[in-house]
Amino acid sequence: MISPHRSHSLWFAFIAHRLSGLALAVFLPVHFYVLALVLTDASTLDGFLQWSKNPLVKFAEFGLVFLLGIHIFGGLRLLALEFLPWSPRQKTYAALAVAGAFILACGFLLSAVS
């Protein structure tokens, strides 16, 4: 049974961002290690790069680039939500919230002093 919140599209956005980030973080040490083989053992690196021409490895690389794409575009979406200026409608809602709170507090004050 899937919890109700897990069918929400924003939950998918969250879990896609988290899982792609986790996978990329696990991949990074391997990526760095293989690149640094140039320093210690260039022939092993070439053997590895030769192996990477295998169609299955190419498909795995496609997966990694896809994960990177998911993570950067999902991340840009988050940054836009957090840091870009509000739209006029969002500003109206924020102003309405303050106005509503003010009316509420005035109502309290009027009844408290009368």
Partner 1 sequence: MLNTNLYMLQRITALIMAPLVLGHIAVMIYAARGGLSAAEILSRTQGSVWWMLFYGTFVAAVSIHAAIGLRVIVFEIFKLKGAGLVLFTWATFIGLAFLGFRAVYAVTIAGGGL
- Which amino acid is located at 101 in the chain? A
Per CB under 8 A, does 38 bind partner 1?
A: yes
Angle formed by the axes of helices 55-83 and 9-35, nearest 10°: 130
Per CB under 8 A, does 76 bind partner 1?
A: yes
Closest Cα to residue 23, out of 77, 60, 78, 76?
60
Per CB under 8 A, does 59 bind partner 1?
A: no
| CB-based burial, 41-52: b 16+ in 10 Å, e otherwise | eeeebeeeeeee
Q: What is the total count of residues that contact partner 1 (CB under 8 A)?
A: 34
Measure CA of the first residue to CA of the last residue in the chain; give whole Å: 56
Q: Which is nearer to partner 1, 29 or 88 (CB)?
A: 29
Q: Is 78 helix (H, G, I), strand (E, B) or coil?
A: helix
Name the minimum Å distance from CB 28 to partner 1.
6
| Of 3-11, 48-56, 85-93, 97-105: span binding partner 1 (CB under 8 A) | 48-56
Per CB under 8 A, does 69 bind partner 1?
A: yes
Name the minimum Å distance from CB 46 to partner 1.
5
Quote the CA–CA distance of 50 and 60 in Å, as a whole number.
15
- Positions in the binding site for partner 1 (CB under 8 A): 18, 21-22, 24-25, 28-29, 31-33, 35-43, 45-46, 49, 52-53, 61, 65, 68-69, 72, 75-76, 79, 82-83
